[in-house]
Amino acid sequence: MKMIGVGFGRTGTMSLKAALEELGAGPCFHMIDLIMGEDKQRDLEYWIKIADGEPVDWDEVFEPWEATVDWPAASKWRELVDAFPDIPVLLNVRDFDGFYKSCTNTILAVKQAAQAGELEQDANREQPAPELWGVIEKLIWQGDFQGRFQDKEWVRQMYYERIETIKREVPADRLVYWELGDGWEPLADALGVDVPDEPFPHLHDTNEFRSEFGLPALA
């Protein structure tokens, strides 16, 4: 492992995945790899166990990977920080209101459409396996959000408390703080590589996410 991303999803994680892989810290694990990755079944078996609270060997879980960002791994940030004690820890963040709005219009909208049986079977990308919906529910909706996502002010407090807890528990010389829009430099510095002479990736905005699941674009 070369970097552990501990920030929530919808904070630029697909762009970060692409950036880390460009910088040589790849392949980088992301929720998308549990939906359409080449080894999705192999990885999903581990995350089913993790979501059920079963013990796992984290070296084994991440054996094919060199980095991780996004959920579901971010929901187990403390375990990963402890399991890989010499690896830089990437705390990726954005302003809370942007985060909450993005979650509402993407992952929550998809969950609600799936529950209502309204997701198109021929949408623009493969749908999550039934078992993955269970992992998402346990680790994200009932785990990080504790079943209280609709309580925006509670989520706001939890969001900032998580950030402060990570800052407090991870040594400063190990922590890489990256705010949406920061670009290549913090990542390249932490990995000890040169900054690429190309624009930072900009992937998976709200409407791109929605289109992949067959949901209408938002104005």
Structural tokens at position 112? 């609600």
For residues 110 and 206, is the Cβ–Cβ distance under 8 A? no
| Mean pLDDT, rounded, of the chain | 94
Q: How many helices (H) and strands (E) does the chain have?
A: 11, 5
62-66, 188-192, 206-210: the lowest-pLDDT one? 206-210
Q: Mean of the pLDDT values across residues 98-114?
A: 93
pLDDT score, position 116 = 82
Domains of the chain, first to last: 3-212 (3.40.50.300)
